[in-house]
Structure formats: structure tokens, C-alpha cells
Amino acid sequence: MRKILLATALSAFATSALAGGYVAPVVEAAPVVVQKSSSSSGIWIPILILVGVGLLASHHGNDK
């Protein structure tokens, strides 16, 4: 008898909980404005870092 009551209660709860179905939330993203840089000054820092690492690596190999 308990199993029947439990099954009835669970089925009643499940049908009322899912009565409306699932509706995915809609999130509107704000527009993002990207400004391009016309100069190539941003490339110098990575180049200098690579040159520095290269110099350190070559200097480290010469130590005896």
C-alpha cells in the first residue's frame, strides 16, 4: 500500500513540475566595439622579449 501511495505522490509531483516544459533563458549580449590600432608598435615588445630570451640562452650555453 505504501508503494502505491508513494508512486502516486511522485507521479503527481513530476507531472505538475514539468507541466510547462522547459524554456531556455534568452540572454542578450551587449555589443562590443573593437578599435583597431593602425600602428605596429605592439609588435616590438614580443620581438624584444624573444631577442632577450635568445641572448640569455646563448650566454648560458657558453658558461664553463
| Residue 56 pLDDT | 86
| Residue 20 pLDDT | 65
| Residue 51 pLDDT | 93
| Residue 41 pLDDT | 65
Concatenating the DSSP letter of every residue in 1-64 gives -HHHHHHHHHHHHHHHHTSS---PPP-PPPP---PPP-S-GGGHHHHHHHHHHHHHHHHHHT--
Render pLDDT for 5-48 as a digit per residue (tens, 0 to 9): 878 877 776 655 555 667 788 888 888 888 776 666 678 888 99
| Residue 50 pLDDT | 92
